[in-house]
Amino acid sequence: MVIYHLSWDLRYFGFITANVEEGLGWRAFARAIAGSFLLIVGISLVLSTRNGLNLSRFLRRLGIIVAAAAAITAATWLVFPDTFIFFGILHHIAVASVLGLLFLGIPVPIVVAAAVLCFAAPYFFTGAAFDSPALVWLGLSSVFPRTNDFVPLFPWFGIVLAGVAGARLWLTRSGSVDGRPPATGRRDSPGGWASDILLWAGRHSLPIYLLHQPLLFGMVFLAAQIYPPNLLEFEPQFIESCSVNCIDSEVDAEVCRKTCNCMAERSQAEGLWNDMMFLSLSAEDEKRYYDLADECRAEAETP
């Protein structure tokens, strides 16, 4: 998570040209990180209730997560008002922690079936009926929302349920009854500084999650003020990415090449380039950007 966010910050401020937002490898990396969080949520939910649900402890933990999620929304709304986070990983964990309780006592095959349904839901139930702002968090809307982090209920809750099912099966195989083993004492670390660091990080994962990105973002921002990056270095990558997307829309390759070269030149001439590279175009400038795309396409298609 820290590696991904540091890379995102370096890309945002123009220090690296990696396509962190849309690159296939980077997207897989980000989803693997989110998936691991949610898998652990499901596993932890089973382990923390193995001797029964401690309601006061559960509500205290839930309150902390809800407060942290609200803080993320407020902070990103101030910094990125057009793409603020309204249902990110912490929001999902809060909702999943409550919904997951419903699956702790029912047969494991039903939990597995529910997980499969969660994974399948976006393929079968997506539609305009879910485009309402009140329903977009479900992940079934026809338009993907503009936000810097989006972990909707479907299909991601399926990973939480996979963690619930896996933990219950493992506990049953280890000799517990109905997935609830007898209480066990805390095991000490096998030793070594690396193990101690990992244990400490695991026990303080929420503070690390909340604090690491503001610290990294601030440090990279400061570095950008002292050593401003040369954003013109992004031109070859922009042209390549633009051309690939253009060709994928079944436009002639030569027309795409001319169009993308034109867009790079015109956006620099009109002062849009830096904001394009920082992914911070205003609504007005974004409209001008798409107008440039139409103008450049028309010029490229002119014999």
The full set of domain ranges for the chain reads 2-182+191-224, 231-301
> pLDDT tens digit string along 247-257?
878 888 899 99
> pLDDT tens digit string along 33-43?
999 999 999 99
For residue 181, the model assigns a pLDDT of: 45
For residue 19, the model assigns a pLDDT of: 77
Q: How far is CA 33 from CA 3, 36, 40, 43, 270, in A?
A: 11, 5, 11, 16, 39
- Dihedral over Cα of 242, 245, 248, 251: its sign: negative
Say how far apart CA 143 and CA 129 lie, in whole Å: 11
76-85: Cβ within 8 A, 24+ apart: 76/148, 80/148, 82/146, 82/283, 83/146, 83/147, 83/148, 84/147, 84/148, 85/147, 85/148, 85/149, 85/150
With a cut of 50, list the residues of the chain below it in pLDDT. 177-185
Say how far apart CA 99 and CA 230 lie, in whole Å: 48
User: One-letter amino acid identity for 208?
Assistant: I
For residue 241, the model assigns a pLDDT of: 81
| Of residues 67, 72, 36, 28, the one with CA closest to residue 202 | 36
| Predicted TM-score (pTM) of this structure | 0.76
